[in-house]
Chains A and B, each alone.
Chain A
């Protein structure tokens, strides 16, 4: 093989190696729930602002179902996050109750009501005890759960807090096998979230 042919082979091999690596890294990045870049979505609501910073490869959709406001984010690999705010639930949580409910705070009542609604359609639902958290910039309750959704084991969490005009619920969920890798990403999204 002549020197010129060797040079051409080396150049072609180098170009192919670069192109192949870049293509592979691009695909891997699109499949990674942590993403590469961050996108910010924000909107005015209740005289304040809702602001969410999420990985750039997640899809975000917003719906306003009657009085309820809902933002759903879906990432690669079945990662899902939902932010919902309900003024109705706030009224319910603040209503005076009797019996065992009377010793619960409005925040605890709202959290329990949200978890009860969320477990519908799930199998083998098990939930940890709610603990206090300040991740959303105000007093909130956080509980972790595991369940079977559509035949697949999932793990997730729910933050509940009471805003100016709504009870806000932030739920994150992913397949159980990905929990160790995805939980820090979901936690990061929650910590940078602003709710009115």
Chain B
């Protein structure tokens, strides 16, 4: 019996390992029993088909991103790389792995809210933009606000780390990171974060 690989989209003869891309094929979970409650749920709240448990995804993310950020901190501290460039690289890497490990939703599903977050972050800083999306989520319960919030939060953390490596004083690092002000070169680093998030789509399962 052939199955469709969730990674490359090809039909595989082996139902456990894709005969094309050699990656493991995860069987889709059994469809939930129909009930009045599940019928009321909107599309956003349906469980994704191919996705590992959250703790496992968080472990993957932390095991890759934390060592990378440690290297980034050393790179920013001991080289003359401009701070906005270091911040952009850190943001790109962090947001890329945030998406690769499926901790936020993909470009296909959340392009509009993330696109909206870009001008907000560029003009008012990523923290203000993140607050806007948290408020939207709390007031309306819309889960599509969580993806831009996750990107903004991870971006802010990565940028703050690089700024602190360059200027190890809390107030000065916050000022240089531009988390609350926006409208400067550091704000553009968020565009790199969005690019990392979009780039990760090539590594996400096609039918997650």
Q: Which residues of A contact B (CB under 8 A)?
A: 4, 6-8, 10-11, 13-15, 17-18, 21-22, 25-26, 28-29, 36-37, 56
Contacts and interface: CB of A to CB of B under 8 A. Distances in A.
Contact of B168 (A15, A17, A25): A25
Given A14-B62, A36-B172, A25 B67 contact: no
Among the interface residues A7, A10, A18, which one has the most CB atoms of the partner chain B within 10 A? A18
A22 B73 contact: yes
A6 B63 contact: yes
B66 interface: yes
B34 interface: no
Contacts of B68: 14
Among B64, B70, B161: residue with most chain A CB under 10 A = B70
Nearest to A29: B168
B171 interface: yes
15 contacts: A4-B56, A7-B60, A10-B67, A11-B62, A14-B66, A14-B67, A15-B66, A18-B161, A21-B77, A22-B164, A25-B77, A25-B164, A25-B168, A36-B169, A37-B167
Contact of A28 (B69, B168, B171): B168
Contacts of A36: 167-169, 172
Interface in B57-111: 59-60, 62-70, 73-74, 77
Contacts of B73: 17-18, 21-22
A2 to B, nearest CB: 12
Contact of B66 (A18, A25, A26, A37): A18
B66 A22 contact: no
Given A21-B70, A25-B164, 17 more contacts: A4-B59, A8-B59, A11-B62, A13-B67, A14-B62, A14-B65, A14-B67, A15-B62, A17-B67, A18-B161, A22-B73, A22-B164, A22-B165, A26-B168, A26-B169, A36-B169, A37-B169
